[in-house]
Amino acid sequence: MSNQPMKFDETMNPQSRKRPLLEIDKPTTMMCTVVAVDHATLCYRVCALCERTLPENPTTACKYCSFTNSFNPTASGSKRLFRVLMSIATDTKVFVVIMFDRAARVLFGCSADEFFDFAKIHPYAAMAAGRALEGEMLTVTLTTPKNGNAQHLRVASVVPLSSSFQPAIETLRQLYREKGVS
């Protein structure tokens, strides 16, 4: 069986532990263009109660909250949050940044759960969302992650610059609606 899902887990590989390409010592706001979005892993599963990361296997419950959940077995034990790697270009360089749920929602226009459900019906949605965002001009505020192992600068906030910007989910809905009609 070689068809295991691809894992993007560079923290496991000590070789890839290097400092961010760009060193900043305080939050820095800059204009940039989206070069590419890593659409292979746009979101991850967390416990719905404590938001600790859970494995992708949907039968795995949170070991910290399983006692609480047992009182309410009908409650959904997990949800998804965005964690998006994207490369951006400024006027001087191209580099990879990581964007978590709050910032990613601005670009995707929905929650990670909504996006995940949409992608279940439309298998190429993640790729199409990445493509929809490519070339988008943004103002981003970048911070250096507190975690010393973190390799990428973190997008603390993002503002699309184009007046015609629309969130990826809107582009996708249009795209698939048009396809559905034909």
Residues that bind Zn ion (CB under 5 A): 47, 49-50, 62, 64-65
- Nearest distance from residue 69's CB to Zn ion, in Å? 8
Nearest-5° Cα angle at 83, 77 to 85: 160
Closest CB to Zn ion among 31 and 49? 49
- Nearest distance from residue 45's CB to Zn ion, in Å? 11
Extract the runs of DSSP E, i.e. beta strands, from 55-171: 78-89, 94-100, 137-143, 153-160
Closest CB to Zn ion among 78 and 144? 78
For 95, the token pair is: 């580099």
Q: Give the integer Cα–Cα distance in Å for 128 and 122.
A: 10
Closest CB to Zn ion among 47 and 158? 47
- Nearest distance from residue 150's CB to Zn ion, in Å? 23
For 154, the token pair is: 């973190």
- Nearest distance from residue 158's CB to Zn ion, in Å? 28
Q: Give the integer Cα–Cα distance in Å for 20 and 97.
A: 9
Closest CB to Zn ion among 13 and 57? 57
